[in-house]
Structure 1
Amino acid sequence: MTDITSEKVLFDINNDQLLNNEKFLANQIKQFESISDQRLDSTYPFVVRIDGVSFRNYTRGFNKPFDQRMTHAFIRTSADLLQRFNPLTIFYQSDEISLVFDGYSTIDRIEKNPREHMYSGRIQKLVSVLASYTAAKFNKYINEEDWSDIENEHVRERLTEHSAYFDGRAFSVPNQFAAMASIYWRHRYDTLKNATLTYALSYYSQNTILGKNTYELRELLRTEKNWDMLNEAPKNIIYGTFLKKELYDLESIDRKTQQSVIVKRSRIRIGSFDMNQLLTTNEEKIKFIM
């Protein structure tokens, strides 16, 4: 692979001949693309995280502290991502969606047609496709919500102009435990932190909460506002939302025999819960995520 610094002489502004050689120019540009086109190793699991860009500005004028219309649009978007790209698990919280994919064993790679990650693991392709797909679906679903209570024209224009957009990142992890742990951290710590800060800011100024940790902020809400966040806030706000496919048995009629048969079908399960309460061991947590 060519080092980009070695091409400086060739791409000198005075090299008029370069622009007149179509084939040579095309090869050079494709080399530049390949230099930056990193790939994920197919033997390792990987995680893609899609984040809303400048959503603090995008959500200005929405219901505070959390607008369930946005949450609903994000969950519908996540369900579409699950159907389209088939990750093992999707986890959604705040304005971000994480997708977990497994790796393929070295035994698989020995086969004549070794399995690879989608898009051959090309990071730029993965994140650009997933981020753009997320933006298209989210803007569709957010506009299908009922915004009749919003009178501010700037907010309504922001919605109808489909102005929400997303960035993305993809990264490999060494094993299934690490894949689970990356979601567990989001679920158990980051989601709770974001929820606590958002609720606290709905009651107090930035200066008032400055320097306080999340436990102190929840105690402040409990003692001064008589509101126990961990027991009274919606579960999807403090734990995030998991989406997974599951197989189930469906009774059907065989077209040829007209006999009743049981067939396997898939459906999406959506839930919000504390992993530590339902999944006590690391093995159980890995089995759930992977």
Structure 2
Amino acid sequence: MRDEFGDRMKEYEARETQRTLLPMLPVAVRIDGRAFHTFTKGFEKPFDRSLSEMFRYTTKELVRESGAVLGYTQSDEISLILHQDDPKSELFFDGKVYKLTSVLASIATAAFNKMWLTYLVDHQSQIDDKVWKLATFDCRVWQVPTKWEAVNVLLWREKDARRNSVSSAAQAVYSDKELHGKSSGEQQEMLFQKGINWADYPKWAKTGTYYRRRQVERELTADELARIPEKHRPAPGTKLLRSDIVEWPYELAKVENKVEAVFDDAPPVLFSDLSK
């Protein structure tokens, strides 16, 4: 017997849940911390290393789970680029939009709060009760027509990171009134007048951090060794090739072969190298 009521409800649901991304086109993802302008009150200004470490850990977990070719974090946001060249391969969750947005936001929320709760416990004597709250994230996904445009998405966020970094550094020592109408270059000059060289800040604070999956030679952890049957278990200290998520230590704007470096993991050719 046909369930007309159930079929009608499923049809409503399917109009949204059937949205699927096109195969073989790059996918851009951006994950933002919700209301982080208030969440981050009480952290060190202009840049807090502990907060950055939480975002970097979260980015690594997102790359690990999603199979992204590259992950990038700056300020309170994370960007991912997903892509499958092989028509027989599948995107994360087959490119289903509702799955991507909901699950990636959930992974970010879980990973960040894991680190956040550890931080709260370690610093509980220094923290006001009002900051004992959990972080939440939203997520959006979209496609771009070419690999070059996917690279441009990252360049766009990297450019934003640089501008915001200079602004944050300046806001730590100048009032909004003093900074009103000042360009990024002018703000850097104002920092110099205070004895602060923006270029001296660490890379994560200036232009963000990238992560990608690589095969690396390393020792297995105790947990990994315990999961291997005893008769096949290597001796402690043995180094083996394993897939891991590692930092990609470059500023994309300074890489000449951007598409190859991002999508093929080709060795980056830096513009400074081309002039030699």
Please classify the TM superposition score into its range, dividing by the shorter chain length: 0.7 to 0.9
> Paired residue for 1:186, among 137, 142, 157?
157
Q: Provide, for residues 143-177 of structure 1, a one-character-per-residue CA deviation record: whole Å limited to 9, x for no partner.
A: 2123246242212x22xxxx210000001111211
> Paired residue for 2:169, among 187, 199, 211?
199
User: Which residue of structure 2 lines up, in the alignment, with residue 177 of structure 1?
Assistant: 148
Distance 1:268 1:174 in 2: 27
Distance 1:264 1:91 in 2: 25
Alignment check: 8 A CA contact 2:155 2:253 kept: no
Alignment check: 8 A CA contact 1:52 1:165 kept: yes
Aligned-partner residue type, residue 47 of structure 2: F
User: Which residue of structure 1 lines up, in the alignment, with residue 3 of structure 2?
Assistant: 23
User: Which residue of structure 2 lines up, in the alignment, with residue 273 of structure 1?
Assistant: 250
Shift of 1:77: 1.5
Shift of 1:281: 3.3
Q: Superposed, which structure 2 residues align to 1:62-77 within 5 Å? A: 62-77=43-58
Alignment check: 8 A CA contact 2:27 2:143 kept: yes
Distance 1:183 1:288 in 2: 16
User: Which residue of structure 1 lines up, in the alignment, with residue 201 of structure 2?
Assistant: 233
Distance 1:205 1:23 in 2: 65
User: Which residue of structure 2 lines up, in the alignment, with residue 8 of structure 1?
Assistant: none
Q: CA 1:262 to 1:138, structure 2 compared with 1: closer, same or farther past 3 Å?
A: closer
> Paired residue for 1:142, among 98, 116, 140?
116
Shift of 1:36: 2.4
Aligned-partner residue type, residue 228 of structure 1: N
Distance 1:192 1:51 in 2: 17
Q: CA 1:25 to 1:246, structure 2 compared with 1: closer, same or farther past 3 Å?
A: same
Distance 1:287 1:123 in 2: 22
> Paired residue for 2:42, among 33, 56, 61?
61
Distance 1:199 1:46 in 2: 32
Shift of 1:61: 1.5
Shift of 1:211: 1.5
The residue matched to 2:204 in structure 1 has which SS?
A: helix
Alignment check: 8 A CA contact 1:239 1:273 kept: no
Distance 2:12 2:185 in 1: 50
Count how many residue pairs are aligned between Structure 1 and Structure 2.
249
Distance 1:103 1:132 in 2: 23
User: Which residue of structure 2 lines up, in the alignment, with residue 92 of structure 1?
Assistant: 73
Aligned-partner residue type, residue 115 of structure 1: S
Q: Provide, for residues 56-91 of structure 1, a one-character-per-residue CA deviation record: whole Å limited to 9, x for no partner.
A: 111111221122111111111122222222211110
Q: CA 1:206 to 1:50, structure 2 compared with 1: closer, same or farther past 3 Å?
A: same
Distance 2:259 2:117 in 1: 41
Aligned-partner residue type, residue 59 of structure 2: S
Shift of 1:276: 4.0
User: Which residue of structure 2 lines up, in the alignment, with residue 243 of structure 1?
Assistant: 211
> Paired residue for 2:104, among 107, 110, 130?
130
Shift of 1:289: 6.4
User: Which residue of structure 2 lines up, in the alignment, with residue 5 of structure 1?
Assistant: none
Shift of 1:251: 9.6
Alignment check: 8 A CA contact 2:212 2:248 kept: no
TM (norm. structure 1) is 0.77
Aligned-partner residue type, residue 102 of structure 2: S
Structure 1 residues not aligned, in runs of 5+: 1-20, 109-113
Alignment check: 8 A CA contact 2:151 2:259 kept: no
Q: CA 1:75 to 1:121, structure 2 compared with 1: closer, same or farther past 3 Å?
A: same
Structure 2 residues not aligned, in runs of 5+: 221-230, 267-276
The residue matched to 2:41 in structure 1 has which SS?
A: coil
The residue matched to 1:51 in structure 2 has which SS?
A: strand
TM (norm. structure 2) is 0.80
The residue matched to 1:168 in structure 2 has which SS?
A: strand
Distance 1:250 1:60 in 2: 39
Alignment check: 8 A CA contact 2:26 2:144 kept: yes
Alignment check: 8 A CA contact 1:89 1:289 kept: no
Shift of 1:265: 2.2
Alignment check: 8 A CA contact 1:246 1:268 kept: yes
Larger radius of gyration: 1
Q: CA RMSD in A?
A: 2.7
User: Which residue of structure 2 lines up, in the alignment, with residue 210 of structure 1?
Assistant: 180
Distance 2:264 2:74 in 1: 18
Amino-acid identity (%): 29
